Structure 1
Amino acid sequence: MTTRFASMTRRPLAAALFVALIAPGMAFAQTAKEKALEARVAELERQVQVLVSAQQQQQSQIATTQQQVTQVQATQAAQPAALPAGKQPIQNTTIMATANPGTVFSYGGFIKMDAMVTDTSDGRIADGSSGRLFYVPSTIPVGGAGADGGDPYADFHAQFSRFWLSADHVTEGGDKFKAYIEADFFGGGNNTLVGNETSTNTYAVSLRQAYVTWNNWLAGQAWSNFMDVAALPDAVDFVGPTDGTIFVRQAQVRYTNGPWSFSVENPQTTVTPYLTGTRFNSGDNVAPDVTARWQSKGDWGHFSVAGLLRQFKVADETDTGAAVSVSGKFNLGKSDDIRYAVNAGQGIGRYLAFGVGSDVVTDANGDINALDGYGGFVAWRHVFSPKVRTNLMYSASHFDNDAAMTGFGVTERTQSMHANVIYSPFPKLDVGAELIYGQRSLEDDREGDLKRLHTHVKYTF
């Protein structure tokens, strides 16, 4: 358009020059007119140049404006939705500046408030212990004749609130990497001032999981390969049917290929001394705990079998043990499922029910002997609607103690029953209540009972 405009404005100038060339005879007779004509031509040329310059400047400004608009639109498309008036963006640069290019960052977790009222038959669970925060069978008090638990007692806390961070990366060659770290606040107080319920209820961050995966390999702290996390029931309590549940997180190296997984994991031996009953841990192990798992899954649910081999060592004394776990989930239509586990073995104590039984016991000569134990659970889950679901659970554990070595003050068996209702008024928000009855029995048949109403409010993000 600019070229056409300039061409049109030059035509009067060409006509004037033509007239001057074909009429030379008139030049000397019309000198004054010629001078006036030349002045007019010069003025026309000046005006044409001004117009052309203005047109070019206008076109340049339009192009610059269009480029700026395109850049703004591209920036807005790459950013989240516009923030409300007065709000500033939280992050305006890359969140993982030193990571491999293309790394995907994820963050999540939940806020969970637990409130419970507990009634124990043979004395109170010690204030500040884990048994005041969730169901731990080994903390149920067992007293002698005439023991009295007194009045019920209440506990409120938010220590199981959790967060996790994940960084995932895929190389050009297709190698998959993942770094994952997870923590909650079940780590106790930092000191005697802040770590109590007097004023601030401040608790320390507690490491749950921290591992890296490379294709089929995992290295770091994670759930034990001997534990079937997918079979755990939908509980209000931290675990629920704890008595018969394998529950261990620890450092390990794991290899997974299809339905098979194998691991070597951190060893530790729990020991009941000869006739004293005061248990302790031994870290003298040389060989790691070794596990293997096979799992099959489909629309019907999943089924899994796992094996465990262990070495026990206290000073120079050693023994070995082995255990097996069968677990899974079976879907009964769209609204119901059954979850279960059966666990048994020699030296299974540390892995079962938060270590309610020992791995080994020492005899009069100082030798160690692995203890037999077994336990399991079954749970039924029914979904009434997208907002309401309920769960019924039964769980138990049993240990074959030799009273001639352990004495009569050790735990022989535990059991519990749970019934809950969980209401979700909005997605990711759960409001639940669970009734719990638990019992712990000693080798001399003394028993202690626990009755608890456990409620929670949980929001997952």
Structure 2
Amino acid sequence: MYKNTSGKVLRRSIAAGLLAATAMAPAAAHAQSSVEDRLDKLEAMIMALEARMDAQQSAPADPQTQAAVTEMRAAVAETRAVAAKQGELETRVAAVETSDKSGFHIGDTKVTLGGYVKMDAITARTSAGQLGGDTFLRDFLVPSTVPVGTGAGSGWDTDFSARQTRFAIKTATPVGGKTLGTTMEMDFMVTSGGDERITNSYTPRLRHAFVTYDGWTIGQTWGTFFNVGALPDTLDFIGTTPGTVFVRQPLVRYTTKSGLSIAVEQPETTVTTATGGRVTPGDDALPDVVLRFDKKAGKSAFSIAAIGRQLKVANDDFGLGSDSTLGYGVSVSGTIGVGAKDDFRFMVNAGEGLGRYIGLNIVNDAAIDPVTGDLDAIASYSGFAAYRHVWSDKLRSTIAGSYFKADNPVALTSASPTDTVWNALANVIYTPVPKLDLGVEYMYVERENEAGLDGNLQKVQVSAKYSF
């Protein structure tokens, strides 16, 4: 009787434990360890029973007890299998949920969609002439187009636009133990299409199209000389345009894990003629070469870049023979963390023949001597500073200013090209819900050419932007 009772009691005890363990199996993935712990305890109980049976040498073995042990061992093994399958299922579900939040898969390739929808309402006035109506020059600041001289100023001209809206698609595919990535992005800026009378529709344009793999970047994207991470938080497309390196072009770049990058990029020489006009000869033979080093330190990040260029014209452009000269420059930029959330951003640039790289081509790379056909690289100096203050989780502001100075060879360019241009701005941006920004910004710009003629532009911009 003792043996039979003992077997029944133990069998019921183990069965109750198994039921409890099985009930726990469908729980969330983090409960998996507690299921395993319970099963380990049950196996320990079975081992104790077997030891007890072995110790009862003087009594015949109880068949019911032996059957209970065998039955319980099989039940424990089955429950472990159920728990393992449940844990695997939870892991797969979690992976699917994560994938759904950040993209989807086509085979081994993860696809991510992104971009934003942005609406700008801009009212602006100029002091010395007018910007043409229905032109992208009213959508954002292009420093070299601010009217100068004695022309009649404009009133406050108002335009609405959604042209900055953009869409991007990215992929990531495991290849050889590394990730092969692609990016393609489009928007509707500076393109032709509809007008403001009826449809306000515009032609899409390609912004980025490149491949990345094991430190290599091949395709069209931000130029290596341009530190996009230093751009201030503004409503205008660039904001501190006069003092900013800004270029996007085809390139081949390699970046080491230490932060050193070397790139060869699309060459394009812009030349100022004797009348102040611009010519792009298309005679370039060598790519622009850029070296850059990036360094992070806590909440701060810094970048220093150097560029070397061959500026060239050939016989068939001006009928003056062929010539080439060297263009070069440096750019130092960065973001410095201030306090818990604020930051200071800056950029300083200097060189000869930087032309199209600075401020949306404020001046050209070089001037040409109309007699000899010799090229003279144009020197320039520029930079910006911006401070962003975070008032709360939903409110932030930026104040910023930038400056550009050119040293045009007036004897070759006439006095019409830009000598100096500067601007200042301030904004307030409110984020009522995540990824939705509502803001207002005021900007003042002043430009002077080599003849001493000047003019200013004032702009008030209200924007709504939702990123996805």
Same fold (TM over 0.5): yes
Look up the match of 1:183.
Answer: 186
| Cross-structure match for 1:230 | 229
State the Cα distance separating 1:130 from its structure 2 match.
2.8
Match of 1:435 in 2: 442
Aligned partners of 1:174 and 1:207: how far apart in 2?
A: 31
Residue 166 of structure 1: which of 167, 170, 173 is its match?
170
After TM superposition, give the deviation of residue 95 of structure 1 in Å. 6.4
Q: Structure 1 residue runs of 4+, over 4 Å off?
A: 76-81
Alignment check: 8 A CA contact 1:440 1:448 kept = yes
Unaligned runs of 5+ in 2: 1-85, 315-321
- Give 1:359 deviation, angstroms: 0.3
| Aligned twin of 2:265 | 265
- Select which of 115, 127, 130 maps to 1:124: 130
Residue 78 of structure 1: how far off its partner (Å)? 8.9
- Check the 8 A contact 1:187/1:205 in 2, yes or no: no
**Partners of 1:225 and 1:150 in 2: CA distance:** 39
Identity of aligned residues (%): 41
Q: Give the direction of change, closer, same or farther, for the CA distance of 1:103–1:449 in structure 2 (3 Å limit).
A: same
Question: Which structure: larger Rg?
Answer: 1
**CA distance in structure 2 between the aligned counterparts of 1:202 and 1:410, rounded to whole angstroms:** 33
- Residues 296, 303 of structure 1: 8 Å contact kept: yes
Instruction: Write the letter of the residue equivalent to 2:373.
Output: G
Q: Which residue of 2 aligns with 1:150?
A: 154
Determine if contact 1:110/1:458 at 8 Å carries over to the other structure: yes
Matches within 5 A, 1:213-292: 213-258=212-257, 259-274=259-274, 276-292=275-291
| Aligned-partner SS, 2:234 | coil
Contact 2:116 / 2:167 at 8 angstroms: preserved in 1?
Answer: yes
> Which amino acid letter does the alignment assign opposite residue 130 of structure 2?
R
Distance 1:416 1:452 in 2: 11
8 A Cα contact 2:136 2:189, kept in partner? no
- Residue 79 of structure 1 and its aligned partner are, at CA, apart by 11
Please give the per-residue CA displacement for 1:225-244, whole angstroms capped at 9, x wherever unaligned. 00001100000111110000
- After TM superposition, the structure 1 = structure 2 runs for residues 58-207 of structure 1, keeping only pairs within 5 Å, are 96=106, 101-144=107-150, 147-171=151-175, 173-190=176-193, 195-207=194-206
Q: Which residue number corresponds to residue 69 of structure 2? A: none
Hey, what's the Cα distance between the residues in 2 that align with 1:314 and 1:168?
42
Q: 1:153/1:216 Cα in 2 relative to 1: closer, same or farther (>3 Å)?
A: same
Question: 3-state SS of the aligned residue for 2:412?
Answer: helix
Look up the equivalent residue of 1:161 and give its one-letter code.
Answer: T
Q: CA RMSD in A?
A: 1.9
In 1, are the aligned partners of 2:404 and 2:421 still within 8 Å (CA)?
Answer: yes
| Aligned counterpart, 2:467 | 460
TM-score for both structures, normalised by structure 1: 0.77
Show CA shifts across 1:36-58 (max 9, x none). Answer: xxxxxxxxxxxxxxxxxxxxxxx
Structure 1: runs of 5 or more not aligned: 1-69, 82-88
1:274-307 CA deviation, whole Å, 9 max, x = no partner?
A: 2x01112121100000000011102231111100
Residue 397 of structure 1 and its aligned partner are, at CA, apart by 0.4
Equivalent-residue separation in structure 1 for 2:340 and 2:171 (angstroms): 34
Partner Cα separation in structure 2 for residue 424 and residue 168 of structure 1: 31
Counterparts of 1:112 and 1:104, CA distance in 2: 27
- Displacement of 1:80: 7.5
How far apart are residue 107 of structure 1 and its match?
Answer: 0.4
1:321 matched to 2:323? The reply is no
Distance 1:280 1:426 in 2: 48
Alignment of 1:28-43 (within 5 A): none
| 2: CA distance, partners of 1:130 / 1:320 | 33
Specify the alignment match of 2:55 in structure 1. none
- Residues 207-266 of structure 1 deviation map (CA, whole Å, 9 limit, x = unaligned): 100000111111000100000011000001111100000000000000000210010000
